[in-house]
Amino acid sequence: MTITRRQLAGGALGGLLASPFLARHSFAQEKSITFAGYSGIFQENYVAAVVEPFTKATGIKVNYYATPNSAQTLGLIRAQKAAPQIDVAIFDITIGKAGTDEGLFAPITKDEFPVLDELSPQAFAPGVNPVGVTFDSLSLLYSPQAVKPAPTSWKTLWDPAYKGKIAMGGAPDIVGIGMTLIANRLFGGTDYRQFEKGVQAMSDLAPGVLSWEPKPDAFTFIINGQAQLGVGWNARGQLYSRQSEGKLGAALPDEGSLFQINTLGLVKGAPQTDAAKAFIKYALSAEAQAAFTERMFYAPVNTKAKVSDAALSATAASPARMEKMLAVDWLEVAKFRDRLNDQWRRRILTRT
């Protein structure tokens, strides 16, 4: 599942099409679905940009069940396999693969979902029933008050001036995994599957890291003045930077980054399957995709989403940035993730 400039950036500037499923359906009366999604600021913005317009258009109520991460969402759906209570869920693509292998998610096909023809090829992965709904990328977080000028390179993390002032999620968190792959290329690696250079670079960084498990997150550590540099997901970083009154910046470094893919899954045996399918169609539409990008700076998967230049420039989906992105197949990463986590335990976490 790699992402190319042609497949994503070109499409993100396409025209906005009308959504054919906005008319109220006969099944909408008294119908509601349960949607499991990320908590916090994601929930706040997804409800405003996608959930509320969907309910207004269809009459179908969406009960948002908030979870802190993809793994917990999978655990919840797994526990309910005999009697599902969740209809639709969002999670990262590796969770989508695991859940498909366990028979938890129903297929989402082009016959039932014509909107799939509008999506980037990178929204699909072999053996994964859920489909991509957002793209995000890692960004370099910094304190504009303490880090001057604004950083333009990932190598700023290794600057001795910031020793003891860095916060980021360490492996097994996907932020730590992703940063290792970026560091691997940054320090001479040519294949992310051979990650020795990345592990060594993160080991060298470790003594300067204040926390590999910042609570509640690296964004807050920097906003509160506990840290001056960090690594986090760009969408949240861009949003927090606009809300923090100059206390947080989110940079997309010159060397590029990597994408993470969130997917939408239709729970097999969902209690409200028809209404759930209507929600998925809307969430993948050009209209909903553009609205969420404008509000929270996730890059859209719908190639016909009409996104403003200002919003697109805050993502890694602009043409200039796409050329520098590290092409990562997260299903390949899943194959060596345990080995990489073991390297983190033995060679990185022990040095902090």
Concatenated DSSP letters of 50-65: IIHHHHHHH--EEEEE
Same domain? 130 vs 181: no
Same domain? 91 vs 189: no
Same domain? 189 vs 69: no
pLDDT for the residue 21: 43
Same domain? 306 vs 334: no
Domain that holds residue 163: 136-258+327-351
pLDDT for the residue 126: 94
Same domain? 180 vs 301: no
pLDDT for the residue 321: 86
Same domain? 212 vs 233: yes
Same domain? 208 vs 333: yes
pLDDT for the residue 319: 78
H/E stretch holding 239 reads: helix 234-243
Q: d(Cα 129, Cα 126) in Å, to the nearest integer?
A: 8
Q: What secondary structure letter does DSSP report for 24?
A: P
- The number of folded domains in the chain is 2
Question: Which single residue is written with the structure tokens 């909107």?
Answer: 115
Backbone angles phi, psi at 23, to 5 degrees: -65, 145
pLDDT for the residue 30: 63
Longest dimension (CA), the chain: 64
Same domain? 217 vs 289: no
pTM (2 d.p.): 0.84
219 and 242 Cβ atoms separated by less than 8 Å: no
Q: What are the Cα distances from residue 243, in Å, to 233, 236, 239, 281?
A: 16, 11, 6, 31
By three-state DSSP, how is residue 92 classified? Answer: strand
pLDDT for the residue 193: 98
Q: What are the Cα distances from residue 119, in Å, to 210, 255, 285, 310?
A: 40, 27, 9, 22
Same domain? 287 vs 342: no
Backbone angles phi, psi at 321, to 5 degrees: -75, -35
Same domain? 106 vs 141: no
Same domain? 201 vs 215: yes
List the structure tokens of 75.
């655990």
For every one of its 352 residues, what pLDDT tens digit does the chain have, with 9 covering 90 and above? 554 444 444 444 333 333 444 444 444 456 999 999 999 999 999 999 999 999 999 999 999 999 999 989 999 999 999 999 999 999 999 999 999 999 999 999 999 999 999 999 999 999 999 999 999 999 999 999 999 999 999 999 999 999 999 999 999 989 999 999 999 999 999 999 999 999 999 999 999 999 999 999 999 999 999 999 999 999 999 999 999 999 999 999 999 999 999 999 999 999 999 999 999 999 999 999 999 999 999 999 999 999 999 999 999 888 788 889 999 999 999 999 999 999 999 999 999 8
H/E stretch holding 278 reads: helix 273-283
CB within 8 A of 206, min separation 6: which ones?
A: 348, 349, 351, 352
- How many CA atoms lie within 13 Å of 228's alpha carbon, on the beta-carbon side? 19
The CATH code of the domain that includes 187 is 3.40.190.10
Same domain? 285 vs 335: no
